[in-house]
Structure formats: structure tokens, C-alpha cells
């Protein structure tokens, strides 16, 4: 008997959920965005991207929402493998395999922070193992594997030099939760209502710690994809410098473009329209090229 999670649990159709709430009719999308969230976050992190003419799907990691009771994934590669299997089983995936199909919609694989590592692995698996063409790989706010750390960070890098982060990773250490809250507050992106609520924190911290360990252990590049590469960064993000982001170059044999958005480590939600414009333009230029 298979122990693999059902596709619906590890790949969430955020656009379909939005239509159910709004009762809006389904429209043919001009872009399909497959999103990998950062450490501790659920697929719904990407809900800000949902538009009537954009199909947004989020990878749902174990340990949160519909997968709350599932054990954490052991590696980034395991997260990417289950997401790739779910994508391959999706009805729309056949169009991505057939060049020139009338229903063909550009597929963007997008990952933020830890999700950038998952996205790189996922795009590689889709292209090399599933035969699914990716129009664009977009990586945000994450230093590439093997790149020297930015001092006093940890979230966007491989090893984690931040003292609060190191103390917070061990849930049995005295003051671990308080250290993790201090680190999250400096990083930004987590609502104060969560940081100040012990019960909510108790639900979120196990998944966050598991994700951070997995992210820090990731030390390889997957087989490169032929899709263009888009590198994204907040202008005030101290967790990853332009050089560390640029070091993702080996994951693609296509052209590289770069975009910066005002803000820190989590700037994308405040610039959703601009992000979609950039994704659509870069995906279109890659397909025409």
C-alpha cells in the first residue's frame, strides 16, 4: 500500500479555492505559477498572487494545514520529488509536455527563501524526469548552496550564523522559543499576532524548525534546466547579497534576469502585481527565445 501523500495534499490549487469563495467563473489563464513557500509557511503564503487570469498553485509541505500530522520531509529533494509527482498527475500537465498544444500555458516555478531551493529541484525534476517544460525558474531571497554566508543572517544562507537562530533550532534548549521569536521578528514576514500568541507559536514552530534544518543541509545544485532564470531580491534584505543570489547561475542554461523590490526579506506580497508582470515578461521572452 502506497504511503505517498495524495496529490491534493501536497499541491494546493489556490486559484480554484478562490473561485469557490468568490463564485467567479473559470477563465483561461495567461500564466501558471507553481509556488514553493519559505520555511514554516504553508501553500497559502502565495495567495496574494491569485488573479482571474493567473493559475496559482502552492506546494504544501508536510507539517502544516492539511498535512499537519505528517512528519517533516528529510530533505529538499524529498519535498521537490513529491511536488513533482503531484504536478505530473495534474490534468493541465499534459499540455506542458506537448509543444504547440492549444491549451499550453507558460509554467513558472517560483520559490522564496527556503522555497527557492525546493523550486530549483522541482523545476529540474519536472524537466528531466517528468518531461514537463518550464518556461521560467524564479528564485527569491536565497543564497545559493556552497556560497559564503552573509554575516548575522541564516535564513537566506546555508549554515546559519545568527546566534538567535542557532539557539532557537533546538526546541529543548532553554529559551529556544524566545530566541526563535527574536530571529523571526528581525527577519520580518511573521505577523505580530502570531509571535505574541504562545498557542499559535506552538503550532508553527515545529514545522519552521524542521524546514530550517532541511534548508541548511541543502548543499548541491540539481541538473540545470533550459528555462530562463529570474533572480529576485528585496532591496533591504540583509540575509542575501546580490553575489550570493547570483551564484544560483548553474541551475539554468538559459538567460538570467534580475529584479529587486523595495523591502526586506519578504517583499513579494507587497508587490504582487509587479511580480506577476515580471514573471509573465520573463517567461514570454524565454519562450520566444
CATH classification at residue 44: 3.40.50.1820
Judge if 23 and 104 occupy the same domain: yes
**Is residue 2's pLDDT more than 80?**
no
Tell me if residue 206 falls in helix, strand or coil.
helix
Of 111, 129, 143, residue with least CA distance to 34: 111
Alpha-carbon gap, residue 155 to 85, rounded angstroms = 27
Give 51's DSSP letter: B
Report the pLDDT value the prediction gives residue 148, as an integer from 0 to 100: 58
Whole-angstrom CA distances from 202 to 180, 199, 208, 266 are 12, 5, 10, 22
Domains contained in the chain, number: 2
Q: Mean pLDDT throughout 161-172?
A: 86
| pLDDT over 50 at 154, yes or no | no
Phi, psi of 7 (to 5 degrees): -55, -35
Q: Are residues 228 and 115 in the same domain?
A: yes
Percent of the chain whose predicted confidence (pLDDT) is above 90: 69
Q: Express each pLDDT in 214-261 by its tens digit.
A: 999 999 999 999 999 999 999 999 999 999 999 999 999 999 999 999
Cell numbers given for 7 = 496529490
Q: Can you point out the beta strands (E) in the chain? A: 11-13, 31-36, 54-59, 107-112, 136-140, 229-234, 256-261
Residues 179 and 228 in one domain: no
Q: How far apart are CA 222 and CA 77, in angstroms?
A: 9
Report the alpha-carbon distance of residue 279 to residue 283 in Å, rounded: 6
Per residue in 81-91, pLDDT tens? 999 999 999 98
Structure confidence at residue 246 (pLDDT) = 96
* Same domain assignment for residues 113 and 12: yes
Which grid coordinates belong to 81?
A: 520529488
Please, are residues 67 and 60 in contact by the beta-carbon 8 Å criterion? yes
* pTM metric for this prediction: 0.90
Same domain assignment for residues 177 and 223: no
Residue 186 lies in a domain: yes
Q: How confident is the model at residue 146 (pLDDT cuts 50, 70, 90)?
A: confident
> What length does the chain have?
289
Count the helix, strand and coil residues of the chain and give each as a percent rounded to the nearest 5. 45, 15, 40
- Domain residues for the domain of 206 are 163-214
What's 252's DSSP letter? B
Q: What is the mean pLDDT of residues 55-66?
A: 95
How many other C-beta atoms are found inside a 10 Å radius of the C-beta of residue 48? 17
113 and 235 fall within a common domain? yes
Q: Catalytic residue positions?
A: 113, 265
Amino acid at each position: 500500500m502506497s504511503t505517498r501523500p495524495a496529490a491534493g495534499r501536497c499541491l494546493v490549487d489556490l486559484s480554484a479555492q478562490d473561485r469557490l469563495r468568490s463564485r467567479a467563473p473559470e477563465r483561461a489563464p495567461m500564466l501558471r505559477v507553481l509556488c514553493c513557500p519559505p520555511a514554516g509557511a504553508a501553500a497559502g503564503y502565495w495567495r496574494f498572487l491569485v488573479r482571474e487570469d493567473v493559475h496559482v498553485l502552492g506546494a504544501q509541505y508536510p507539517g502544516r494545514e492539511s498535512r499537519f500530522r505528517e512528519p517533516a520531509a528529510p530533505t529538499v529533494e524529498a519535498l521537490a520529488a513529491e511536488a513533482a509527482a503531484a504536478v505530473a498527475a495534474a490534468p493541465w500537465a499534459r499540455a506542458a509536455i506537448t509543444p504547440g498544444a492549444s491549451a499550453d500555458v507558460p509554467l513558472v516555478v517560483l520559490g522564496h527563501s527556503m522555497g527557492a531551493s525546493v523550486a530549483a529541484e522541482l523545476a529540474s525534476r519536472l524537466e528531466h524526469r517528468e518531461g514537463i517544460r518550464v518556461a521560467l525558474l524564479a528564485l527569491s531571497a536565497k543564497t545559493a548552496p556552497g556560497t559564503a554566508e552573509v554575516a548575522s543572517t541564516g535564513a537566506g544562507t546555508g549554515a546559519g550564523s545568527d546566534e538567535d537562530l542557532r539557539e532557537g533550532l533546538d526546541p529543548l534548549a532553554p529559551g529556544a522559543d524566545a530566541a526563535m521569536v527574536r530571529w523571526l521578528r528581525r527577519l520580518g514576514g511573521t505577523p505580530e499576532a502570531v509571535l505574541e500568541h504562545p498557542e499559535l507559536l506552538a503550532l508553527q514552530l515545529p514545522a519552521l524548525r524542521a524546514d530550517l534544518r532541511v534548508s541548511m543541509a541543502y548543499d548541491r545544485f540539481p541538473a540545470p534546466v533550459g528555462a530562463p532564470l529570474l533572480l529576485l531580491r528585496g532591496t533591504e534584505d540583509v540575509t542575501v547579497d546580490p553575489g550570493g543570489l547570483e551564484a544560483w547561475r548553474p541551475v539554468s542554461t538559459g538567460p538570467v534576469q534580475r529584479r529587486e523590490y523595495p523591502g526586506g526579506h519578504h517583499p513579494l506580497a507587497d508587490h504582487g502585481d509587479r511580480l506577476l508582470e515580471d514573471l509573465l515578461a520573463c517567461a514570454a521572452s524565454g519562450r520566444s527565445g
